[in-house]
Amino acid sequence: MTSPVSDAGAGFSTADFSLDDVRREGLLEPAGTEASPHDGTGRVQLSFTVLDSAGTSTDRSVRVPPGVTVFDSASWNGIAIDSTCGGHGTCHKCRVRVDGDVPVSRHDLRTFTSEQLEEGWRLGCLVQATRDLHVVVPPLTTRPKAATVGVGRQVILRPAVQKRYVELAEPTLTDQRTDLARLLEAVDDLEPVPDLYALRRLPTVLREADLKVTAVVVDESLIDVEAGDTTGVRHAIAFDLGTTTVVATLLDLATGTPVAVASMLNRQQPFGGDVISRISATMLDDRALARLQQAAAETMAALAAQVCEEGGVDPAHVYEVAIAGNATMTALALGIDPEPLGVAPFVMATAQPPVVLAADLGLALHPRARAMFFPALGAYVGGDIVAGMLATGMDRDKRTRLFIDVGTNCEIVLSDGDTTVSTAAPAGPAFEGGAIRCGMRAADGAIEVVRLGGDDPVQLQVIGDVEPRGLCGSGLVDAVSELVRIGLLDSSGRFVSEDRAAELVPDLADRLTRIGDERVFVLHRPHPDSDPADCVVLSQRDVRELQFAKAAISTGWSLLLQELGLETGDLQQVLLAGSFGSYLSPAAAVRIGLVPKLPLLRIVSAGNVAGEGAKMALLSIRERAGAATLLEEVRYVELSDRSDFNDRFVEQLAFGD
């Protein structure tokens, strides 16, 4: 099969690129699809109608970069679709009904009748979203033994939370075994050690429930005894504890499926937008650490309450939480002084925080619910990245892959299939809209996609489809990339002269103007005669901010490539991760040099991989153990003390070749 491979620009060849080697999720279409062409820019909206076995339905809409499959888009957003192959096109279980004209793959032909194809039935992992789609997801048909999580990862369900229903023999004068001995003998496959809480409840619950009880075990601890058979009720919450946004996913551990997902801004925001300002806050004020800890606790508690309510789950049936956060967020949530993380030589209190009670983090769940934090590789490659590595299988995949979590602190991991190295690059706040004249977070009114030139010379996509108010990170990258493409920004990142602009793109030349002394490009004018100061603009200084950010990131990955003796052409896949990276336009990211210059199909939006890794750890103790192993397998490369860092950084400042 031949597949169209989009070049992200001139200067590299796709002829020697074998899709079969790298056929995977996201922009790489799985085997059997007729690939839908797309240019890797913009966003598409997927509206899901999710049916359940009771005959009710819920509607959810998500926006994703074009080319992501329906299956991946659903799984990133907590919508469960049947699968046993993890989205690789082999199990033929991921059946969905798509409204509108969608290509039929040869696997679809084998799976559906012609009437079903006519009705829009397709295998969800083979449908690339290249335009807005409405998708109907039928109820799950099987009680799965495995779950699809992360980036196409399939994990066998073996949660740390286990339940056993037992019916115990009545004590008699000839059988005076203790209540505990009686119970432990009945659950001898688990060999748990009882918590005092469970012991206190045991005599009463046993007698009230006629000796028919369910033992609740987390790891090796017997944490509770519940009356009757409650084995079907087992929940856990995965937290992605981000500096900006915190996401909680409530999981049904019996089926491995997400029940509800919610997110909110981290309530630590008033202490500053990035980790350095929060660390500084603790250095300046003795009470700040306690307040930051409290703010993290409140954020997670509010989200836990929200997902339990939305999922109709009693919080007392949530027995475990997993938390993936960077080293600073982890320290603050645990009330550990983060100051050493903020000053050289950047030392953590511990790489592997202990398991604690969720109640000690302020979470009102089962009183003995456990909370596990992901281990960290270094002060700036934290538990969120370890979770991301787990979700993407960075350490197991034999391909040469680069993982970039784009944010204020950008974490980069490179693996050649044998050796894995990681580093962190301080990209600054540009991607969060910070230090940008019209910058804002990705909220209603933020320009997220920019296209320049052509008949309609300025095309903008705005979050919420409202009047543009500013520019979020992906809009910033798009705007700069487009200005480079049409020639209004030269490769050094300087706006060209007015005369040159008039020559190159006469339709847009009047948008290149000034506010005071500073040159700006007007992206949106509220009125035709608005003063530039009242418009949404991209300023010369904004371009410089983005240049520094992208140079920090590209210096990071280029030095990691050098560490492993690799060239950019050796990379078989680049994963863009994190709440910002996943929404970057791959084409724009390539054009400005934020990611290596590669065919677009090798650049994959990986979604919220930290949250996926946290889910994985809750669903599988084997995967959880894998996270700990990563600490020994992955080598951290410190960039700041390298003699070639500055030269490389300066080289990377230019846009394009």
* Interacting residues toward ligand FES by CB under 6 A: 71, 83, 85, 87, 89-94, 123, 125
Shortest distance in whole angstroms from residue 604 CB to ligand FES = 17
Beta strand extents in 343-490 (DSSP E only): 356-357, 370-373, 401-405, 409-415, 420-426, 446-452, 458-462, 470-471
15 by Cβ neighbours in 10 Å (0-12 / 13-18 / 19+) ranks as: exposed
Shortest distance in whole angstroms from residue 89 CB to ligand FES = 5
Backbone Cα Rg of the chain = 26
* Cβ proximity to ligand FES, 74 vs 592, nearer residue: 74
* Cβ proximity to ligand FES, 84 vs 231, nearer residue: 84
> What's the DSSP call for residue 655?
S
* Cβ proximity to ligand FES, 62 vs 463, nearer residue: 62
Is 68:46 a contact under the CB 8 Å cutoff?
A: no
Is 216:188 a contact under the CB 8 Å cutoff?
A: no
Shortest distance in whole angstroms from residue 615 CB to ligand FES = 17
> What's the DSSP call for residue 654?
S
CA distance 324 to 630: 14
Inter-CA distances, 638 with 7, 277, 425, 633, Å = 33, 22, 9, 16
Chain CA centroid to CA 572, Å: 21
* Cβ proximity to ligand FES, 91 vs 168, nearer residue: 91
Shortest distance in whole angstroms from residue 48 CB to ligand FES = 16
Shortest distance in whole angstroms from residue 446 CB to ligand FES = 33
Shortest distance in whole angstroms from residue 578 CB to ligand FES = 25
375-378 long-range Cβ contacts below 8 angstroms, 24+ apart: 375/351, 375/627, 375/628, 375/630, 375/631, 376/326, 376/327, 376/330, 376/348, 376/351, 377/351, 377/422, 377/630, 377/631, 377/634, 377/636, 378/327, 378/346, 378/348, 378/422, 378/424, 378/636, 378/638
235 by Cβ neighbours in 10 Å (0-12 / 13-18 / 19+) ranks as: buried
Dihedrals φ, ψ of 309, to 5°? -65, -45
* Cβ proximity to ligand FES, 263 vs 392, nearer residue: 392
Pairing of strands 318-325, 356-357: unpaired
* Cβ proximity to ligand FES, 144 vs 475, nearer residue: 144
Shortest distance in whole angstroms from residue 84 CB to ligand FES = 6
* Cβ proximity to ligand FES, 76 vs 319, nearer residue: 76
Shortest distance in whole angstroms from residue 616 CB to ligand FES = 17
Enter the tokens of residue 243. 């500096």
* Cβ proximity to ligand FES, 124 vs 242, nearer residue: 124
* Cβ proximity to ligand FES, 80 vs 472, nearer residue: 80
Shortest distance in whole angstroms from residue 415 CB to ligand FES = 25
CA distance 86 to 392: 12
CA distance 297 to 477: 34
* Cβ proximity to ligand FES, 78 vs 353, nearer residue: 78
Q: Which residues, including other chains, have CB under 8 Å from residue 490's CB and lie 6 or more apart?
A: 496
Shortest distance in whole angstroms from residue 108 CB to ligand FES = 10
Enter the tokens of residue 122. 């397709």
Shortest distance in whole angstroms from residue 86 CB to ligand FES = 7
Enter the tokens of residue 331. 């320290």
**DSSP-derived 3-state class of residue 285:** coil
Q: Which residues, including other chains, have CB under 8 Å from residue 348's CB and lie 6 or more apart?
A: 327, 331, 340, 341, 376, 378, 379
* Cβ proximity to ligand FES, 152 vs 581, nearer residue: 152
* Cβ proximity to ligand FES, 94 vs 363, nearer residue: 94
Q: What is the 3-class SS of 245-277, one letter each residue?
A: EEEEEEEECCCCEEEEEEEEECCCHHHCCCHHH
Shortest distance in whole angstroms from residue 171 CB to ligand FES = 51
